[in-house]
Amino acid sequence: MTKACCPGSFDPVTNGHLDVVERASRLFDEVVVAVLENLNKRALFSVEERMEMLREATAHLEGVKVSSFQGLVTEFCKQEGADVIVKGLRAVTDFDYEMQMAQMNKRMGVETAFLAAKPDYTYLSSSLMREVVALGGDIDGLVPPFVLARLKDKMP
Ligand code: PNS
């Protein structure tokens, strides 16, 4: 039985995240999508809201569950019995930081596997989605429709 962990802030989930989770679910028996509860960082959506959106977006995927964690992702993986962290790599700009985290997480006992982001989604990030919606721009097709609706609801 192989189990992977896809950790992230998911504030909110984008189609880029979902592509990585979907592909991970084909490679591993089980996938736990883990929302970081970062007490030092102000998020637009609460952890519960982020988990709800992830649950709705991954409901069709067998073997995928959604959870949250505080502290080290490696500790969460060990508690969950996840052998590997799966992350998407969008561009070279991601590489340095992701490599650093992967090497530190390996030192703490958990491997990382990178999936190359789908070309259509390499420019996506949650922060860009938030900014474009806040400024009245169109992000149709870049996040699930119910995420777009919730983003619009959050805007003043
Ligand atoms: O979506 P993000 O914000 O790019 O995800 C980053 C995340 C949550 C994967 C990373 O910040 C993380 O794993 N944080 C947990 C704390 C931790 O384990 N830090 C040491 C990493 S080497």
pLDDT tens by residue, 9-26: 999 999 999 999 999 999
Sole residue written with tokens 């119910």: 146
Q: How far from chain centre, in Å, is Cα 67?
A: 11
Counting from 1 in the atom list of ligand 1, the atom nearest the Cα of 34 is 8
Report whether residue 8 contacts ligand 1, using a CB cutoff of 6 Å: yes
Which architecture does CATH list for 3-122? 3-Layer(aba) Sandwich (3.40)
pTM of the model: 0.97
Instruction: List strand residue ranges (DSSP E) for the chain, in order.
Output: 3-8, 30-36, 64-69, 84-89, 111-116
Counting from 1 in the atom list of ligand 1, the atom nearest the Cα of 87 is 9
Per-residue model confidence (pLDDT) at position 112 = 98
Average pLDDT (126-150) is 97
Reply yes or no: is the peptide bond before residue 12 cis, omega within 30 of 0.
Answer: yes
Decide if pLDDT at 110 tops 90.
yes
Distance (angstroms) between ligand 1 centre and the Cα of 132 equals 24
Phi, psi of 26 (to 5 degrees): -85, -20
Residues 107 and 89: their CA atoms lie apart, in Å, by: 20
Decide if pLDDT at 54 tops 90.
yes
Decide if pLDDT at 96 tops 90.
yes
